[in-house]
Amino acid sequence: MKTDLDEALREYIKTMPSLPTSVTKVLEICNNPRTSPADLNHVISLDPVLVGRVLKLINSAYYGLGQQVTSLVRAIIMLGINTVKNLVLSTAVVGQLTSKRSPGLEMEGFWRHSLSVGVSAKLLAKKRGIDSKLIEEYFVAGLLHDIGKVPLNAVLSEEYIRTVSAADREKKPLSLAEENALGMNHCQAGAMIVTAWKLEGPIGDAITYHHSYDEYAGDYRDIIFTVAAANRFSSLQGIGFSGDRHPVPLPELIWSVLNITQETFYEMEESVNKEIQKAEIFLKIGRQE
């Protein structure tokens, strides 16, 4: 069944709209350490949709600047190249995924869970003193971590609904239930999107490894571990719908590396709910085009 599912998923992903050329160019130019705000401004200026997204986001409550920013280059300087890259990527991916029907996956709940993981990861990164230039990467990694559920559900809608129900009924982690019933979990399905859309780096690694962090040997362990912890917190709290009410307990290694306890997240719970409301702007902007 796994071979057939692999092929069906690959065919489905081919039918998904690819990332816009302008977004791909933004990702490419931002991977060059010599890129300047002027270089990024030149690329984004060629796409009025991207210009609008950047300005809407910087003027939203999510960033809370308290002043109106109307210049694209000023927005890039204020936010930083890495942050602009990540907000361009996140709104583009949200837009592409919500344009496809997912009959069995409750998408509003799915995206609320995704927002919760994103803002939880970001708040935790802030609390731990992570470089401010990298903070948004934690948010986007959390926001997009579960996108592999979308093609799985679309290709195997009835089977996927039964799998989610079985995970809940048998009190087992969803990723394990997926492997048992389908021969593949949503991280593996997500890895196919990562490859198709060339989402290399911490975002792609978080999508691929947030349930197999013990196998991860790349450069972004801190982000992977943070997203895994934020995902467990959001699932246990029932924020949105993850289909995973009985996640695997995290190993001591993660708590040790992050230098936190489980109580750390519960102390942030009020802040998480407030930040989710602000972060909904990413969904609204992504769905507008």
Instruction: Write down the pLDDT at residue 98.
Output: 72
Q: What mean pLDDT is predicted for residues 12-37? A: 91
Q: What residues contact 158, with CB distance under 8 A and at least 6 apart?
A: 104
Mean pLDDT along residues 122-145: 95
pLDDT of res. 62: 94
Token pair, residue 240, equals 């949105």
State pTM to two decimals: 0.94
Find the angle CA(268)-CA(274)-CA(279) to the nearest 5 degrees: 110
What DSSP string runs through 66-78?
SS----HHHHHHH
> In terms of Cα–Cα distance, which of 138, 100, 142 is closest to 235?
142
Domain spans in the chain, listed from the N-terminal domain onward:
2-288
pLDDT of 35 reads: 94
Tokens found for residue 38 = 């002027």
Q: Is 159 left (phi over 0), alpha (psi -120 to 50) or beta?
A: alpha
Q: Domain 2-288 classified CATH 1.10.3210.10?
A: yes
Question: Does 67 score more than 80 pLDDT?
Answer: yes
For the stretch 146-158, pLDDT in tens is 999 999 999 988 8
159-187 pLDDT, tens digit per residue, is 999 999 999 999 999 999 999 999 999 99
Task: Give the amino acid at 262.
Answer: Q
The per-residue pLDDT for range 72-114, each reduced to its tens digit, is: 999 999 999 999 999 999 999 998 887 555 666 788 899 999 9
> Residue 104: which residues within 8 A CB-CB, separation 6 or more?
153, 157, 158, 160, 161, 164
